[in-house]
Chains A and B, each alone.
Chain A
Amino acid sequence: DTGVSQDPRHKITKRGQNVTFRCDPISEHNRLYWYRQTLGQGPEFLTYFQNEAQLEKSRLLSDRFSAERPKGSFSTLEIQRTEQGDSAMYLCASSSSGFTKNIQYFGAGTRLSVL
Chain B
Amino acid sequence: ILNVEQSPQSLHVQEGDSTNFTCSFPSSNFYALHWYRWETAKSPEALFVMTLNGDEKKKGRISATLNTKEGYSYLYIKGSQPEDSATYLCAFTSGSRLTFGEGTQLTVNP
Using CB atoms and an 8 Å cutoff, list the residues of chain A in contact with chain B: 3-4, 31, 33, 35, 40-45, 48, 55-56, 58, 91, 101-109
**Complex interface: chain B residues within 8 A of A55 (CB):** 96
Q: Which of B6, B41, B97, B100 has the most CB of A within 10 A?
A: B97
The main secondary structure of chain A at its interface with chain B is: loop
Using CB atoms and an 8 Å cutoff, list the residues of chain B in contact with chain A: 4, 6, 31-32, 34, 36, 41-46, 49, 51, 89, 91, 93, 96-103
Question: How many A-B Cβ pairs are below 8 Å?
Answer: 59
Given A42-B103, A45-B97, A45-B99, also A106-B31 (CB < 8 A) = no
- CB-based contact B97/A33 at 8 Å: yes
Q: A42 touches which one: B42, B46, B96, B101 (CB < 8 A)?
A: B101
Q: A40 touches which one: B36, B89, B99, B102 (CB < 8 A)?
A: B102
